[in-house]
């Protein structure tokens, strides 16, 4: 009897790991639908590289839901359709094609943090735990019965990158281990409504990463780690320009809100209830790591010195 087959829609490092999990479970992947890797995304191996190495046809379809794609997938008669960090909402008609169902991998403990960029939002919100969820797809986003979940602890200095790498490793195992139960129908299915109310967060906009001196230190630090490298970074605006705060850490020392202070240990920037110690700034594409150069940059931007 041939192995069950699947069409996979995937992107990101989590998508790559989940595709690997499918292959480890013996699923025959008949086609991968994915995206061209952007110049700011070169830090991860894309799903397309894994697929091509396995001889799997790769399709870079900018409009997945178009008629031609639907007919192509229908002609493949897949047993499964999987969505692993795919950027498009898949239309309901696609969900009816696979014999054994359509499933999505989402980067949170559903029903919490439905929507876009869940791994970034949990850091912004200061959560101490999140997870990854495999669930049946419905026409509604991040809806449908849960078939598998893995919990992920969030360290105090966790960044979007380190948490994404955790999610990728967990996703690979979660998908691989769920396949036997999905194939024979024995896997338990949990209605999301039984787990309490859902929460939803939309895609992050550049303005969401703005730092304000009215923020508390922890709030500012959460903002910074949620978009630390290789994400675009949090930023401070002054009347004379904008500087990106690539990395900073909470300090036990003090500094008035909206001011900076050069100390023996580095540069402090004051917020509502304390200070952050700067590690890396960015401006005009250049990294600024020496405290004296950071202080000079903040002076040029008009930030008052304490």
C-beta separation of 211 from 220 below 8 A: yes
Query: Helices then strands (H, E): number in the chain?
Result: 8, 15
- pLDDT tens string 263-306: 998 999 999 999 999 999 999 989 999 999 999 999 999 999 99
Angle between helices 160-184 and 12-24 (to 10 degrees): 30
Q: Which of 115, 114, 88 is nearest to 9 (CA)?
A: 88
Q: Each residue of 202-217: pLDDT tens digit?
A: 999 999 999 999 999 9
Q: Which CATH architecture has domain 5-201?
A: 3-Layer(aba) Sandwich (3.40)
Please count the other Cβ atoms lying within 10 Å of the Cβ belonging to residue 164.
Answer: 22
For residue 86, give every residue at least 6 positions away whose Cβ sits within 8 Å of its Cβ, in sequence order, or none.
Answer: 9, 10, 11, 15, 33, 64, 104
- Please, are residues 170 and 20 in contact by the beta-carbon 8 Å criterion? no
The model carries a pTM of 0.95
**Beta-sheet pairing, 286-288 with 274-283:** antiparallel
Percent of the chain scored above 70 by pLDDT?
100
Tell me the domain boundaries of the chain.
5-201, 206-300
For residue 105, the cross-strand partners are 84, 134
Q: What band does 1 get if pLDDT is binned at 50, 70 and 90? A: low
The chain-wide mean pLDDT, for the chain, equals 96
Which pLDDT does position 285 carry in this prediction?
87
The whole-number pLDDT of residue 61 equals 75
Helix or strand run (H / E) with residue 22: helix 12-24
Distance (Å, rounded) from C-alpha 50 to C-alpha 29? 11
**How confident is the model over 223-254, as pLDDT tens digits?**
999 999 999 999 999 989 999 999 999 999 99
89 vs 261: CA distance, rounded Å: 48
HSE of 135, CA atoms in CB hemisphere, 13 A:
26
Q: Reply yes or no on whether the pLDDT at 151 is more than 80.
A: yes
Q: What topology is assigned to 206-300 in CATH?
A: 3.10.25
Rounded CA separation 111/135 (Å)? 10
């Amino acid at each position: 009897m041939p192995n069950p087959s699947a069409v996979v829609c995937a992107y990101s490092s989590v998508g790559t790991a989940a595709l690997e999990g499918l292959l480890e479970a013996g699923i025959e992947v008949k086609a991968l639908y994915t995206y061209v890797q952007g110049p700011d995304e070169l830090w991860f191996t894309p799903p397309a590289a894994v697929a091509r190495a396995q001889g799997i046809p790769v399709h870079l379809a900018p409009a997945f839901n178009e008629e031609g794609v639907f007919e192509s997938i229908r002609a493949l008669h897949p047993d499964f359709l999987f969505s692993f960090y795919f950027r498009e909402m898949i239309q309901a008609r696609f969900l009816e094609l696979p014999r054994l169902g359509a499933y999505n991998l989402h980067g949170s403990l559903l029903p919490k943090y439905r929507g876009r960029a869940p791994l970034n939002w949990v850091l912004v919100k200061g959560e101490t735990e999140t997870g990854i969820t495999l669930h049946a797809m419905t026409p509604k986003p991040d809806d449908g019965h849960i078939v598998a979940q893995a919990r992920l602890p969030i360290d105090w200095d966790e960044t979007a990158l380190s948490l994404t790498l955790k999610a990728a490793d967990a996703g690979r195992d979660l998908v691989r281990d769920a396949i036997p139960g999905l194939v024979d129908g024995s896997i338990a299915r949990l209605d999301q409504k039984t787990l309490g109310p859902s929460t939803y967060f939309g895609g992050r906009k550049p303005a969401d990463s703005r730092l304000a001196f009215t923020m508390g230190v922890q709030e500012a630090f959460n903002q910074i780690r949620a978009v630390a490298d290789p994400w675009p970074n949090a930023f401070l605006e002054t009347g004379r320009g904008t500087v990106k705060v690539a990395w900073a850490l909470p300090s036990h020392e003090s500094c008035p809100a909206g001011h900076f202070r050069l100390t023996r240990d580095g540069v402090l920037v004051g917020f509502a209830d304390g200070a952050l110690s700067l590690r890396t700034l960015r401006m005009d594409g250049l990294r600024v790591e020496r405290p004296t150069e950071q202080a000079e940059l903040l002076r040029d931007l008009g930030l008052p010195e304490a």
